[in-house]
């Protein structure tokens, strides 16, 4: 056996093994972070432009009034696009990363919780409408109810995966959900657009800067 072969087959020293582990962690963090800021930016566009579109359906600016069909089409299309971006980039970021059964179970339950929660809000709203909730109250209930659920789920994600950005996003969304009904309709949509959009864009910029700073300088 050659000397070169013996050296290459020899076990790593603890220091070398730690260096390899840290290098792998940096690669994984860089890959995940490289997608997270894009996903967050996509949600920023959805919140800012989407809620502005439905705000312009009723408020208008100097005669600029968005038709109802167009406003809801823009809103729904942007949020659907943000969901697709999140799903595609989230799946791509996880390629080649091993996960144990506990993490897989947590992720599956968390994903199902999103679907169940969104459906539950829809059913609750339908029940309230059947019991006399007016269209004016529905304009306050639906955005706040959905936002409250999303905010709570973000906070749950922060507790599970220890992500500080999720704490910020969750806290802002929960406060938005609680405060905006007091502002009335359609002002609540404007506040959702400005505050929600600004929050997501701020997190996206911070994430992009963090990813850039993590790239080794040549």
Query: pLDDT per residue over 117-162, tens digit each?
Result: 999 999 999 999 999 999 999 999 999 999 999 999 999 999 988 8
pLDDT tens, 36-75? 889 999 999 999 999 999 999 987 677 788 999 999 999 9
- Mean pLDDT, rounded, for 8-32: 52
Q: Which residue has the higher pLDDT, 85 or 13?
A: 85
pLDDT at 119: 96
Residues near 207 by Cβ (< 8 Å), separated by ≥ 6? Answer: 33, 36, 37, 40, 165
DSSP class of residue 61?
A: B
Closest to 205 measured CA to CA, from 52, 64, 36: 36
Given a contact cutoff of 8 angstroms between Cβ atoms, the answer to whether 200 and 170 are in contact is no
């Amino acid at each position: 056996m050659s000397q070169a072969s013996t050296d290459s087959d020899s076990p790593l020293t603890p220091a070398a093994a730690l260096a390899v582990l840290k290098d792998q962690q940096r690669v994984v963090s860089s890959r995940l972070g490289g997608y997270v800021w894009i996903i967050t930016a996509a949600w920023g566009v959805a919140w800012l432009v989407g809620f502005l579109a439905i705000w312009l359906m009723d408020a208008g600016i100097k005669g600029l009034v968005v038709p109802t069909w167009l406003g809801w089409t823009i809103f729904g299309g942007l949020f659907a696009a943000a969901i697709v971006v999140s799903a595609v980039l989230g799946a791509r970021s996880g390629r080649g990363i091993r996960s144990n059964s506990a993490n897989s179970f947590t992720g599956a339950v968390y994903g199902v919780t999103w679907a169940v929660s969104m459906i539950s809000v829809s059913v609750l709203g339908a029940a309230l409408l059947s019991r006399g909730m007016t269209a004016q109250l529905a304009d306050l209930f639906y955005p706040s109810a959905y936002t409250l659920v999303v905010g709570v789920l973000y906070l749950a994600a922060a507790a599970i995966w220890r992500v500080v950005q999720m704490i910020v996003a969750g806290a802002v969304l929960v406060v938005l959900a609680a405060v905006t009904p007091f502002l009335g309709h359609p002002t609540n949509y404007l506040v959702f657009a400005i505050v929600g959009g600004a929050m997501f864009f701020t997190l996206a910029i911070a994430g992009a800067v963090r990813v850039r700073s993590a790239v080794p300088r040549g």
